[in-house]
């Protein structure tokens, strides 16, 4: 046995084995770093490791069976022992081993003691672990109407956590897309881009409520924390504070270091029935479209009636009335007036509530065209609730109005990262892409959006314009006729019928729009005549839209009217709207 070991040593088999292991280890480390940089799949590094492992016995075999000579590589049995240079080769291998071991030692030292300096990616990976989604709490009560109450618990928790700078919180719309769905947590984590989820249930009986909450890692389903709360409805906001505080305490142990200050709950609606009405109204407000907005108004009016001292309820009523005023075929004067009064009342009641400033900015953007004031109010909303998805989306809308499409696109892409399943934000992005003449990408996004919600208001109408831009009139017609919102349907039908040469049907759609909506659809009439090539008529309708404060006029400085860029009347409208010098 000793003779065999001595022969192994003479043939440098031990040295080759050691050198192979050291070099393979360094190769694996370099490969792992490089592949991580290129986001390569796991199987690539596994394949490399497998190849290196399989090569080890081959290296030992070649060290035993072959020898390096001055004449090159020869079989060991063919080499005269008196002429063998295995001793010199062994010394060279010693230097190789020492060299690579030195490199390996240096790598270990840097990796363990200087990683914060040389690998900032580590901080980013920790930051990713601070990401959280608040899933809709499950209604365990016998009354299905209490779904809105359960949703409200989730929404208030989401708002509380979003105010803590150390956390990245997934947007409401995306989190609520998983309501009623038993999805794998890993799928939820991948879809929302979060490492943890807060989920739970609400069981309500009379004036008592039991809330169970748990914090779970999406990667492995490991429960980080759980708690059950039994409370009366009078102190429901105290329960929300308890849950948010517990979540922060659990996460800060391993992720946040020093304990951050937990921001208390925002003053909301302290009457359960009023809060329930508010949540119902918020649901329909987020759907958009005149029918949904009418329902939103009804529920917000109930919330205000039941809780007249709530700024949140008044702000909700203002937003619902303002949006409804812009889409109703009826006279918008009264709902717009109520929207203004409701916003003023909300501000009087609570000047530290983000929804108040969002309601004010909504009116300033859509009807007053006071762009600078709207920008300040949106900034104030974000100051009060950093990262608020709705405020960022409204900022992108303001950028679009001012013709700053690239900035609007960047803002919307960031919002989608935070709220990836927010279809309204995706619709806004596809509109901006169209304005940037990126018709193909806009169409692809629109089609994906309709796969999720085939009846989404205004999506089909915009897609009809995208396909017209690509020259696909068949698809343009298909989407124009599929648009569910009446005035949008008639507008795009008039445009596409004219494009395919059916002037009679185009005029019929335009006249139907005129009969049903009158000057309330002045902006849509201006779009139709601009596409028909009747520029004077288009400008005439823009003047009418300006006179009646048509909210669609916010898009007057977009490529929808590029054909009017040489028309003096068009530039006169831009000047009156304070948009002439903002592009």
Tell me if 439 sits within 8 A of 466, measured CB to CB: yes
Q: Which two tokens stand for residue 396?
A: 């992108």
pLDDT band at 6 (very low <50, low <70, confident <90, very high): low
> Between 486-499 and 522-532, two packed helices, what is the crossing angle to 10 degrees?
10
Portion of the chain with pLDDT greater than 90, in percent: 42
Tell me if 375 sits within 8 A of 358, measured CB to CB: no
Please state the pTM of the whole predicted model: 0.67
Residue 582 has pLDDT above 50, yes or no: no
pLDDT attached to residue 574: 95
pLDDT attached to residue 254: 46
Q: Which two tokens stand for residue 559?
A: 């490529």
Residues in CB range of 544: below 8 A, 6 or more apart: 519, 522, 525, 550
State how far Cα 574 lies from the chain centre.
33
SS3 call for 337: helix
> Between 389-401 and 405-418, two packed helices, what is the crossing angle to 10 degrees?
160
Residue extents of the structural domains in the chain? 2-119, 130-262, 266-345+354-369, 457-583
276 versus 399: the higher-pLDDT residue is 399
CA distances from 136 to 9, 176, 304 (A): 68, 6, 25
Exposure string for 83-99, b = 16+ CB within 10 A, e = fewer: ebebeebbeebeebbee
Q: Which fold has domain 266-345+354-369?
A: 1.25.40
SS3 call for 67: strand
Residue 258 has pLDDT above 70, yes or no: no
Residue 107 has pLDDT above 90, yes or no: no
Tell me if 60 sits within 8 A of 13, measured CB to CB: yes
Strand-pairing partners, residue 227, are 213
Angle at 184 between CA 182 and CA 186, to 5 degrees: 150
Task: Find the distance separating the first CA and the last CA of the chain, reported in whole Å.
Answer: 87
pLDDT winner (highest mean) among 143-147, 240-244, 520-524:
520-524
E strand spans, 420-492:
none
Lowest mean pLDDT among 196-200, 253-257, 323-327, 340-344: 253-257
Mean pLDDT of the region 159-177: 78
Separation between Cα atoms, residue 428 and residue 449, nearest integer Å: 11
Mean pLDDT of the region 120-142: 65
Q: Which fold has domain 457-583?
A: 1.25.40
Lowest mean pLDDT among 109-123, 328-342, 413-427: 109-123
Residue 257 has pLDDT above 60, yes or no: no
SS3 call for 69: strand
Separation between Cα atoms, residue 429 and residue 316, nearest integer Å: 25
Residue 64 has pLDDT above 50, yes or no: yes
Q: Residue 278, exposed/middle/buried by CB under 10 A (0-12, 13-18, 19+)?
A: buried
CATH number for the domain whose boundaries are 130-262: 3.40.50.10610
Task: Please list the alpha-helical segments (H only) found in 227-310.
Answer: 236-251, 272-287, 290-306
Instruction: Encode pLDDT of 349-380 as tens digits.
Output: 999 999 999 999 999 999 999 999 999 999 99
Residues in CB range of 302: below 8 A, 6 or more apart: 274, 277, 281
Provide long-range contacts, Cβ within 8 A and 24+ apart, for 300-304: 302/274, 302/277, 303/269, 303/274, 303/275, 303/277, 303/278, 304/342
Instruction: Encode pLDDT of 432-483 as tens digits.
Output: 999 999 988 998 999 998 988 888 899 999 999 999 988 999 999 999 999 9
- The owner of tokens 């696109």 is 409
pLDDT attached to residue 229: 77
Instruction: Encode pLDDT of 215-247 as tens digits.
Output: 888 888 888 778 887 777 665 666 656 665 666
Domain 266-345+354-369 and domain 457-583, same fold? Reply is: yes
Strand-pairing partners, residue 555, are none
pLDDT band at 255 (very low <50, low <70, confident <90, very high): low
398 versus 387: the higher-pLDDT residue is 398
Interstrand relation of 223-232 and 131-134 (parallel, antiparallel or unpaired): unpaired
CA gyration radius for the chain? 33
């Amino acid at each position: 046995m000793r003779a065999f070991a001595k022969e192994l040593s003479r043939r440098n088999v031990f040295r080759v084995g050691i050198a192979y292991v050291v070099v393979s280890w360094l190769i694996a480390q370099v490969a792992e770093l490089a592949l991580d940089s290129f986001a390569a799949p796991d199987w690539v590094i596994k394949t490399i490791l497998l190849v290196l492992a399989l090569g080890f016995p081959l290296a030992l075999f070649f060290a035993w069976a072959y020898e390096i000579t001055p004449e090159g590589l020869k079989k060991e049995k063919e080499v005269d022992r008196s002429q063998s240079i295995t001793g010199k080769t062994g010394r060279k291998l010693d230097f190789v081993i020492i060299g690579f071991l030195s490199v390996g030692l240096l790598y270990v030292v840097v990796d363990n003691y200087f990683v914060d300096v040389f690998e900032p990616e580590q901080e980013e990976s920790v930051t990713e672990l601070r990401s959280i989604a608040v899933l809709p709490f499950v209604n365990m009560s016998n009354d299905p109407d209490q779904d809105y109450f359960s949703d409200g618990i989730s929404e208030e928790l989401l708002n509380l956590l979003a105010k803590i700078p150390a956390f990245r919180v997934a947007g409401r719309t995306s989190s609520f897309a998983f309501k009623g769905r038993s999805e794998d947590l890993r799928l939820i984590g991948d879809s929302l881009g979060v490492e943890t989820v807060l989920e739970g249930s609400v069981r309500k009986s009379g004036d008592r409520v039991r809330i169970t909450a748990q914090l779970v890692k999406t990667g492995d389903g490991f429960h980080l924390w759980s708690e059950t709360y039994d409370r009366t409805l009078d102190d429901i906001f105290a329960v929300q504070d308890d849950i948010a505080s517990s979540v922060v305490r659990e996460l800060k142990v391993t992720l946040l270091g020093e304990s951050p200050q937990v921001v208390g709950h925002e003053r909301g609606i302290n009457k359960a029935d009023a809060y329930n009405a508010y949540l119902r109204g918020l649901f329909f407000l987020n759907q958009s479209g005149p029918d949904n907005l009418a329902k939103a108004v009804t529920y917000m009016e109930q919330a205000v009636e039941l809780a007249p001292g709530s700024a949140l309820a008044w702000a909700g009523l203002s937003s619902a009335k303002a949006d409804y005023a812009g889409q109703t075929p009826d006279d918008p004067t009264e709902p717009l007036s109520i929207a203004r009064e409701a916003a003023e009342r909300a501000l009087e009641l609570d000047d530290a509530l983000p929804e108040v400033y969002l309601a004010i900015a909504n009116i300033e953007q859509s009807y007053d065209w006071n762009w600078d004031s709207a920008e300040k109010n949106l900034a104030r909303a974000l100051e009060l609730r950093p990262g608020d998805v709705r405020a960022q989306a409204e900022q992108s809308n303001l950028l679009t109005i001012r013709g700053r499409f690239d900035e609007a696109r960047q803002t919307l892409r960031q919002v989608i990262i935070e709220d990836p399943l927010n279809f309204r934000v995706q619709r806004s992005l596809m509109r901006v892409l169209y304005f940037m003449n990126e018709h193909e990408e806009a169409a692809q996004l629109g089609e994906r959006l309709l796969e999720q919600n085939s009846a989404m208001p205004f999506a089909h109408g915009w897609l009809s314009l995208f396909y017209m831009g690509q020259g696909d009139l068949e698809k343009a017609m298909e989407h124009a006729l599929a648009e569910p919102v009446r005035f949008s349907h008639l507008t795009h039908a008039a445009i596409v019928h004219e494009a395919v040469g059916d002037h009679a049907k185009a005029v019929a759609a335009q006249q139907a729009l005129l009969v049903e909506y009158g000057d309330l659809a002045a902006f849509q009439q201006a779009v139709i005549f601009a596409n028909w090539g009747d520029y004077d008529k288009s400008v005439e309708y823009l003047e009418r839209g300006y006179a009646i404060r048509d909210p669609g006029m916010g898009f007057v400085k977009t490529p929808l009217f590029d054909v009017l860029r040489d028309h003096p009347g068009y530039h006169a409208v831009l000047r009156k709207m304070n948009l002439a010098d903002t592009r």
